[in-house]
Structure 1
Amino acid sequence: MRPPTLPRLLIAASGTGGHLFPAIATAEQLADYQIEWLGVPDRLETKLVSDRYRLHTVKVGGFQQKLGLGTLKTLLGLMGSVFKVRKLLREGQFSGVFTTGGYIAGPALFAARSLGLPVILHESNALPGKVTRLFAPWCSTVALGFESATKYLKNAKTICVGTPVRSQFRSAPDPTALKDLAISKEAPLIVVVGGSQGAVALNQLVRQCAPAWFEAGAWVVHITGESDPDLRGLAHPHYRALPFYHNMAALFQRANLAISRAGAGTLTELAVTHTPSILIPYPFAAEDHQTYNATVFANAGAAILFRQSELTPDMLQNSVLTLLKERMRLDQMAERAAALAVIDSAEQTAQLVRDSLAPRSATMSKPGL
């Protein structure tokens, strides 16, 4: 009799940190599964997951607004990707698929359902993406980051579990973690982050405001992203500009205030680390979904929301200065951010995966199969 092997799970997550980090956090809780990854060539997953999980890639893109040759090309590419993923699932004897949405979810879901495999989809945003709204009824379960997303998915089986965050965000703060940044222990710290892709307009706005914050005694750690053309445009002893920082958990735990875009993953990290924030949603996000996310935090009193089109340097500069003077208000915002956090979201999401895959996993692990 052969010893039972671990059931196999294919995780389909690609592109940005908003899709990848919740998937990674969930994978960390699934040590009882053999996990392989489905992504797209030359995307962030090739850096973040290829050294931890076996990575398979397919070429897939989104449909354009107007019908044309581009639409036909995308459709043919999607069909080819479905066949490739279907072969992978069948030959690898996978028990099912977990996906965090986006373009990669399409071929993964089509392929899995054609084989009768369960699919669990996690949607982080308050306004579910087009892929989620289209395919949610086909999924075994749709896990949601925001309760308000339920109203957009009435024909699907949904459950709100929050958005999973990586384990380091839930760990106790390490007082030595930020030694490389040499930040004064007593000074108020402002952390600026534009998401995994950066935010050039936000970066420019912050650099105009920062001198006034320095005069008030604050330090600024500015995560600029890789595509900022003015990375060295500001120099000051209290200013650290970095394209990327390896320990965002420690940075948010130390921060007195964050200035940020409003991707669902970043908002979850702010909530888990109890970090007050000023949110400036990316104005060109699909269907303005970042504004929906930010509105949840603003309505809860955990953040201040500004639309980029209405925000001036004076408004941002003075809002930060006012908050730095009102320690009680910052503490209140921190408490309300904490109240939005679902600390065990990764565990809840992992258990949903187990529950959905359990019947097939039991069958696949029988001796001789």
Structure 2
Amino acid sequence: MPKRLLIAASGTGGHIFPAIALAQKLPDYKIGWLGVPNRAEKNLVPPQYYIHEIEAEGFQKPFGLGTLRTSLGLLCSIYKAWQVLIDGPFEGLFTTGGYIAAPAIIAARLLGLPVILHESNAIPGKVTRLLAPFCTAVILGFEDAAKYLPLAKTLTVGTPVRGSFFDKKKLDLPIPEDVPLVVVVGGSQGAVAVNQLVRQCANTLFEAGIWIVHLTGENDPDVGSLQHPQYIQMPFYNEMPALLQRANLAISRAGASALTELAITKTPSILIPYPYAAENHQAYNAAAFVQAGAAVAFLQEELTPEILSSKVLDLLNSPELLKQMTGSAIHLARQDSTERLNIIVRYVMDGKKIPKINN
């Protein structure tokens, strides 16, 4: 009989894509998915993984009546997650953190099931810091995150990426092979502020012969406002490995999953951390890449179209600097993250002691 594993990953590509990468390494497992209604998992999770939906939200507001409502909601979510685990019947839980992780972890531990938690950010989220000590294993994307989790059993393996990122692919878009290409990525939900900045400086870049592929997300109010032969815009693009492999430069948010994909594809980047990310974790993620020499970063509030266009032109006119950034990105990429996580999950699910894995 195949092992039965419930994966709890919801909300953004940063939570969902690493979980998909793991699931692809477990073809001999029976996998279910725990998600939240009307979130990104509905479109991102492959159809072979049935999605069990529960309501889940975080404690974001000051203490008050809303806190009581959220607390009651958490109890209901724990009960529903508990039911999903029993009905599976699932033998263990894997989660990538976020709101969905709290009820899932608590329900699994109440049932005595093993729990593997993967935290991809340099600064662990609130749920991770609170519940990591109760997990069977806590797997980290950044080694520095361990200092925030002194009571947890942690291992650093990096952040998993889907297998397709390791295959060399040709880009299926009408872009000449000999032109500089800038790819703009705001994360799985898009980034309206970044979209506006890019459109405002686009004409300067077009005049320099630069092509732009702009992934706007689904919630861009200005979609269609810019038209140009050197400009391709889409809400999202399924063949991200080929796109990033072709790109000379990326303009991106600094979610851990996006940064891992940039590192694996050796893509130099200008990072604009999302300013409202929990614990400001994207700024810390970006700082790790800047320190390594793989990226430059700007706070959103300090960026203007003039600054952004100037930096893009400076980088694209500095092939030696781009080459150095590419080399730095290679050193940040953990090529075997998914496989190492796969090994850990299998050991935990089999009730075995996790083998020593060098960081």
In the superposition, the TM-score normalised over structure 1's length comes to 0.93
Amino acid at match of 2:234: L
Aligned counterpart, 1:140: 136
Root-mean-square deviation (Å) = 1.2
Aligned counterpart, 1:94: 90
Shift of the alpha carbon at 1:82? 1.1
| Matching of residues 106-145 of structure 1 within 5 Å | 106-145=102-141
Amino acid at match of 1:300: A
**Alignment pair present for 1:192 and 2:192:** no
| Matching of residues 1-369 of structure 1 within 5 Å | 5-49=1-45, 51-172=47-168, 174-175=169-170, 177-178=171-172, 181-359=173-351
Aligned counterpart, 2:355: none
Structure 1 unaligned regions, length at least 5: 361-369
Shift of the alpha carbon at 1:253? 0.5
Distance 1:57 1:50, change over 3 A: farther
Structure 2 unaligned regions, length at least 5: 353-359
Secondary structure, aligned partner of 1:331: helix
Shift of the alpha carbon at 1:50? 5.8
Shift of the alpha carbon at 1:134? 0.6
Amino acid at match of 2:346: R
Contact 1:64 1:70 in 2 (8 A): no
Shift of the alpha carbon at 1:128? 0.5
Secondary structure, aligned partner of 2:51: strand
Secondary structure, aligned partner of 1:332: helix
Secondary structure, aligned partner of 2:116: strand
Contact 1:10 1:97 in 2 (8 A): yes
Shift of the alpha carbon at 1:94? 1.7
Contact 1:253 1:274 in 2 (8 A): yes
Kindly provide the CA deviation profile for residues 197-230 of structure 1, in whole angstroms up to 9, marking residues without a partner as x: 1111111111111111111111010111111111
Shift of the alpha carbon at 1:317? 0.8
Number of matched residues?
352
Aligned structure 1 segments of 4 or more residues deviating by more than 4 angstroms: none
Shift of the alpha carbon at 1:249? 1.1
Q: Percent identity?
A: 61
Secondary structure, aligned partner of 2:350: helix
Which one is further off, 242-251 or 116-125? Answer: 242-251
Secondary structure, aligned partner of 1:359: coil
Q: Which has the larger radius of gyration?
A: 1
Shift of the alpha carbon at 1:49? 2.1
Which one is further off, 67-76 or 10-19? Answer: 67-76
> d(CA) in 2 for partners of 1:46 and 1:108?
18
